[in-house]
């Protein structure tokens, strides 16, 4: 993605923390006809000495996975975002814009084949989104779990490249950034309120 110098998001620990917080992302790959395909999926984001890995699954009926062999895919993490009114700027001759945070993760995708790997992927997602559900999951019948897993395809993306952008009005004056943050914090829109602290931190 195009990233102006003022909006670069390069701190790797902060980038990973952002991906883990906003982990419902968009997976983009090429279909057999060369056209892009996209699926919206929850991801487990894990970083260790072996690198950064993204784990998820999609329905087996979803054709996107069938053309993955050897592909480099893109996973887009974004949220929160908000409209910024030109009335918040000091200069009358100003235009509207949008403040947002986005991370693009590129990597090789690998299908997790077999019941053991699929179960491990599902348990990673349970640990990410609802650890308390693990006990109920373990109590389900093997017949039910096996049948359910046959209906999905688990996969892992080994990330090879990260791009991050924080467009948070860093190119505006201190007074303008303060006005924008205060306006967002008082917005009826939940995403705008969630963005406000990011705008405040970017101004420091």
Other CB atoms within 10 A of residue 48 CB: 7
Element (H, E) at 5: none
| pLDDT one-digit tens code per residue, 11-51 | 999 999 999 999 999 999 999 888 999 999 999 999 988 89
Q: What is the pLDDT of residue 201?
A: 85
| pLDDT one-digit tens code per residue, 67-76 | 897 789 999 9
| Spacing of C-alpha 150 from chain mean position | 26
| pLDDT one-digit tens code per residue, 1-12 | 999 999 999 899
Q: What is the pLDDT of residue 192?
A: 95
| Spacing of C-alpha 193 from chain mean position | 19
Strands 44-48 and 72-84: unpaired
| pLDDT one-digit tens code per residue, 48-68 | 888 999 999 999 999 999 989
- DSSP string of 103-161? EEEEEEEEEE-SHHHHHHHHHHHHHHH-GGGHHHHHHS-HHHHHHHHHTEEEEEEEEEE
As to burial, measured by CB atoms within 10 angstroms (0-12 exposed, 13-18 middle, 19+ buried), residue 28 is: middle
Ramachandran bin of 192, using left for φ above 0, alpha for ψ from -120 to 50, beta for the remaining angles: alpha
Kindly indicate the confidence band of residue 202, based on its pLDDT and cuts at 50, 70 and 90. Answer: confident
Task: Check pLDDT > 80 for residue 204.
Answer: no
As to burial, measured by CB atoms within 10 angstroms (0-12 exposed, 13-18 middle, 19+ buried), residue 82 is: buried
| pLDDT one-digit tens code per residue, 123-178 | 999 999 999 999 998 898 999 989 989 999 999 999 999 999 999 999 999 999 99
Walk me through the domains of the chain, giving residue ranges and CATH numbers.
5-86+97-171 (2.30.110.10)
Q: What is the pLDDT of residue 4?
A: 93
List beta partners, residue 159: 107
Backbone phi, psi, residue 67, to 5°: -115, 20
- Range of weakest confidence among 84-88, 113-117, 187-191: 113-117
**pTM check: above 0.75:** yes
Q: What is the pLDDT of residue 181?
A: 94
Q: What is the pLDDT of residue 23?
A: 97
Task: Check pLDDT > 70 for residue 180.
Answer: yes
């Amino acid at each position: 993605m195009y990233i102006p110098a003022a909006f670069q998001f390069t701190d790797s620990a902060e980038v990973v923390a952002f991906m883990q917080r906003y982990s419902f992302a968009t997976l983009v790959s090429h279909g057999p006809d060369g056209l892009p395909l996209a699926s919206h999926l929850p991801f487990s984001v894990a970083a260790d000495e072996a690198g950064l890995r993204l784990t998820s699954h999609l329905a087996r009926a979803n054709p996107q996975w069938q053309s993955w062999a050897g592909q480099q895919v893109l996973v887009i993490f974004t949220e929160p975002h908000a409209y910024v009114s030109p009335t918040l700027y000091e200069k009358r001759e100003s235009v509207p814009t949008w403040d947002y945070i986005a991370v693009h993760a590129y990597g090789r995708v690998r299908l997790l084949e077999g019941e053991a790997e699929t179960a491990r992927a599902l348990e990673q997602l349970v640990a990410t989104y609802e650890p308390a559900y693990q006990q109920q999951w373990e109590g389900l019948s093997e017949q039910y779990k096996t049948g359910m897993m046959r209906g999905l395809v688990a996969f892992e993306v080994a990330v090879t490249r990260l791009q991050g952008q924080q467009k948070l009005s860093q190119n505006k004056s201190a007074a303008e950034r303060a006005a924008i943050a205060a306006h967002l914090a008082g917005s009826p829109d939940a995403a705008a309120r969630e963005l406000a602290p990011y705008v405040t931190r970017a101004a420091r």
